Amino acid sequence: MHPDNTLYLMDAEEYRKKLELDILKIIEEKLQKGQMDAERAKAIARMVLDTLHPPLTLEQIYQIAPTLDDHFTELTTAILPVIHEHDEKVKAIITEHAQKLIKQGKIEEATNVLKQATDEERDRK
């Protein structure tokens, strides 16, 4: 489970704002430490505004978030919690589905669901 359980309780707009704020904190910190110039900060801000514009669903945020650090690796620390949370939610759904299948006596089908999920996870890494 994600250490910041408040993420699970946020609606999509709150979540989007939190992600934007986390990215802004990274930009501010890097600028203050001289680790980023103003042009790069502007480029990141423009990309975030263009990409994370409301309204977005949680699923859209989960799809967008992993791409935010493709060109701006500085953003990885803001992105990883989003990716982790999404992975945890997917695992919970798959586990619940497999448990229902097992309770229905569909052991082979449950095994196939879990195997497919494991194979997909391995392929992503």
Supply the DSSP string of 95-112, one letter for each residue: HHHHHHHHHTT-HHHHHH
C-beta separation of 75 from 69 below 8 A:
yes
C-beta separation of 62 from 84 below 8 A:
no
- List per-residue pLDDT tens for the chain, 125 residues long: 344 444 444 689 999 999 999 999 999 999 999 999 999 999 999 999 999 988 999 899 999 999 999 999 999 999 999 999 888 988 999 999 999 999 999 999 999 999 998 887 777 66
Distance CA 38, CA 27 (A): 9
pLDDT for position 122:
76
pLDDT for position 125:
63
Distance CA 46, CA 3 (A): 30
